[in-house]
Amino acid sequence: MYTGIPRWVAAIAAVGALFVLLPLAAMLGRVNWPQFIPLITSESSLTALGLSLRTAAASTVLCVLFGVPLALVLARGDFPGQRLLRSFVLLPLVLPPVVGGIALLYAFGRQGLLGQSLGIAGLQIAFTTTAVILAQTFVALPFLVVSLEGALRSAGSRYESVAATLGARPTTVLRRVTLPLVLPGLASGAVLSFARSLGEFGATLTFAGSLPGVTRTLPLEIYLQRETDADAAVALSLLLVVVAVVVVGLSYRGPAPAGSGGRSARTGTPGRVPA
Amino acid sequence: MRPGIRASAVLGAGTVAAVLTGCAAPAGDAGKTLTVFAAASLQTPFTALAEEFEAAHPGTTVTLSFAGSSDLATQISQGAPADVFASADTKNMAKLGGAGLVEGSPRDFATNVLTIAVPPENPASIASFADLAKPGVRTVICAAQVPCGAATKRVEQETGTTLTPVSEESSVTDVLGKVVSGEADAGLVYVTDVKAAGDKVQAIPFPESAQAVNTYPIAAVRTGKNQDLADAFIEAVTGTDGQRILRGAGFGTP
C-alpha cells in the first residue's frame, strides 16, 4: 500500500488536528479538579446523564429500524426520485438542529400536522421523553443511512446474485448474505448515530423543552449550568467528551482501509448460502 | 469540484494561520464606533435608541450585541470589546463590577416585571397566577438559574404557590416560543416580551408580579475605547428620549 504523504500535507494536517484538539485541551485546563467528582455526581448531573444515555440508546434503535431499510432502498433500489429521496434523508446532516426542531414541532406538536390526530388518540408528544427521542432520531438517522449505504455499495452485490440464483428468496438473501456482509458498516453507523444523539441539543431545546429527568439531557443541562456555575458546565462538558470518545473510540473503526486486508476481512464471512 | 477543493485547502491554511495569530479587522477610521452589549430583552428599544444616537452624533456608528446578560458579562470579562454594558439584572452587573471592569457606578434605567403569556384563544382559561398551578395546565417557565426563572421562584415563594411546569427553559425567548407555537397553555415571561410578540400571544397581568421587579442597570466598560461616547450613550438611555422609547416597549421606571 502506498503511504507517501507530502510533507506540506502532513503540516496542514497537523494544524487541522491542533485546531480540534486545542479547544479540548483548553477545556481540560479549566476543569476544577478537586470538585470534579462532586460536580459530575450531583443529582442533576446524574439525572441528565442517565436520560441522555437512555434516550440516545432508544434513538439508535429507531435509527437502525428505519435506517437499514432506507439504506437498502437507496443502495440497491432503482426507482424514479431515488436521488431526491437521498437528498431529503440526508438533509438533517446539514440543517441547523434548531430548524429540525421547528420542523418537528409543526409535524408532531400540539398544533402540528400529526399532533392533532395524536392528541385525539390521547398521545401528547411535546414536553415528553418521546419528543427527545424523536428529535435525536431525526438528526442521527442520516449518519446510519450514509454509513450503511456506503458499506452496501462497496460490498457489491455479487454474493447476493449468487444466492438468488441458488434459489434464496429476497428476505433470505438479506438476512443470510447482505446484512452479515455489511455488519461492520452497520455497527459504525449505529455508533455514530448514538454519538450524534448523545450530543443533540438544538432540536431538543426547540421541540422537547427542558425538565429534569424528562427532557433535560446532558447538553441542555450543560447549557443551563453555564448560566450560574461555570465549573459544573465545564465538568459536565468533559464528561460528555469522555463518553463520546469512549463510545466512538471503542466501536467506530472508520472506513475499512483500501488495501487487501480490509477487503478480505469483509468478504471472508459472507454467511452461509443455502443450497 | 477538484479545483474548488484545492483552492479551499490553500485558503483554509491561510485562514487558520490568521485565526491562530489573532488577526483582527482594523476599526473603521472614518468615524467612531460605539459597541453596546445589551440584554436580549432590550433589542427593540435599543435598536431604536441607537438610530437616534447615530443621528444625533454624525459619524458615529453604534454596534449592538444582544444576548443573555450572563453570556454578555462572561464575554466582556473574557476580553470582548464592549464600550457599554446594559444588563437585565443587577447580579450580572455586580459580577462585572467585581472583576473591576465597570467604569463609575452603574445607573438603573428600566424595570421589567413578569406577566403570564397565553395563546390568543387562551385554551386553558388562565385568569390568575394561581390558575397556572391547576392540574392539566401546561405551564412553561424559566429555569431558576436564569433571571426570569429567579423572578418566577420569588413570586412562587411570596404567593405560596407551587408550579409544576412541563418545561423549565434556559431563556425567556424559549418560554415565549413554546406559547407562540401553542405547545404550552401558559408561560411566565416579561411584560416587554409579550409586547414585542404582538398579537401572537395575549398577556394576563397578575398583581403578584410586583413581588419580583427586575432592575436594569447600565454602565460604561472600563476596557472600552470610547469613554466619552459611552457616557453620552448612557445619558441618552437615561434621558427623556431614551426613557420614552423604553416606556413604549413596556419597560417601567426604576
- Check whether residue B237 and residue B194 sit in a common domain: no
- Check whether residue B224 and residue B99 sit in a common domain: yes
At A122, is the pLDDT very low, low, confident or very high (cuts 50, 70, 90)? confident
Q: What residue of B is the nearest CA neighbor of A108?
A: B183
Q: Is the CB of residue A51 less than 8 Å away from at least one CB of chain B?
A: no
Interface test with A, best of B20, B139, B167, B173 (most A CBs within 10 A): B167
Which pLDDT tens digit goes with each residue over B175-190?
999 999 889 999 999 9
Which pLDDT tens digit goes with each residue over A146-179?
999 999 999 888 898 999 899 989 999 999 999 9
More reliable by pLDDT, B48 or A120: B48
**pLDDT greater than 50 at residue B1:** no
**Residue B1 within a domain:** no
**Residue B254 within a domain:** no
- Check whether residue B52 and residue B72 sit in a common domain: yes
Lowest mean pLDDT among A235-244, A262-271, B230-239: A262-271
Which pLDDT tens digit goes with each residue over A7-52?
999 999 999 999 999 999 999 998 999 999 999 999 999 999 999 9
- Check whether residue B243 and residue B147 sit in a common domain: no
- Check whether residue B166 and residue B81 sit in a common domain: no
CA atoms within 13 A on the CB side of B88: 29
* pTM (global) more than 0.90: no
- Check whether residue B33 and residue B96 sit in a common domain: yes
At A256, is the pLDDT very low, low, confident or very high (cuts 50, 70, 90)? low
Which pLDDT tens digit goes with each residue over B105-137?
999 999 999 999 999 999 999 999 999 999 999
More reliable by pLDDT, A228 or B92: B92
Q: What value does the mean pLDDT take over residues B159-177?
A: 91
Query: What's the number of domains chain B is made of?
Result: 2
**Residue B68 within a domain:** yes
**Residue B253 within a domain:** no
- Check whether residue B146 and residue B193 sit in a common domain: yes
Q: Is the CB of residue A110 less than 8 Å away from at least one CB of chain B?
A: yes
Q: Is the CB of residue A15 less than 8 Å away from at least one CB of chain B?
A: yes
- Check whether residue B169 and residue B203 sit in a common domain: yes
Domain residue limits at B56? 6-111+215-248
**Residue B144 within a domain:** yes
CB B108 within 8 A of CB B215: yes
- Check whether residue B229 and residue B207 sit in a common domain: no
- Check whether residue B54 and residue B177 sit in a common domain: no
3-state secondary structure chain B: CHHHHHHHHHHHHHHHHHHHCCCCCCCCCCCEEEEEEEEHHHHHHHHHHHHHHHHHCCCEEEEEEEECHHHHHHHHHCCCCCCEEECCCHHHHHHHHHCCCEEEEEEEEEEECEEEEECCCCCCCCCCCHHHHCCCCCEEEECCCCHHHHHHHHHHHHHCCCCCCCEEECCHHHHHHHHHCCCCCEEEEEHHHHHHHHHHCEEECCHHHHHCCEEEEEEEECCCCCHHHHHHHHHHHHCHHHHHHHHHCCCECC
Which pLDDT tens digit goes with each residue over A49-87?
999 999 999 999 999 999 999 999 999 888 999 999 999
**Residue B105 within a domain:** yes
Cell output for B103: 467604569
Tell me which chain B residues have a C-beta less than 8 angstroms from the C-beta of A27. Answer: none
Alpha-carbon gap: A88 to the closest alpha carbon of chain B (Å): 22
CB B246 within 8 A of CB B47: no
ipTM of the complex model: 0.74
- CA dist B61 and B54 (Å) reads 6
B63: left (phi over 0), alpha (psi -120 to 50) or beta: beta
Q: What value does the mean pLDDT take over residues A218-227?
A: 91
Interface test with B, best of A227, A231, A234, A236 (most B CBs within 10 A): A227
Q: How long is chain B?
A: 254
Q: What value does the mean pLDDT take over residues A211-222?
A: 94
- Check whether residue B105 and residue B179 sit in a common domain: no
Total beta-carbon pairs less than 8 A apart between chain A and chain B = 67
List the CATH number of the domain containing B233.
Answer: 3.40.190.10
Q: What value does the mean pLDDT take over residues B147-167?
A: 92
pLDDT the model gives residue A253: 62
**Residue B17 within a domain:** yes
pLDDT the model gives residue A255: 56
Q: Average pLDDT, whole number, for chain A?
A: 87
- CA dist B132 and A168 (Å) reads 63
pLDDT the model gives residue B17: 41
Tell me which chain A residues have a C-beta less than 8 angstroms from the C-beta of B167. Answer: 127, 208-211, 215
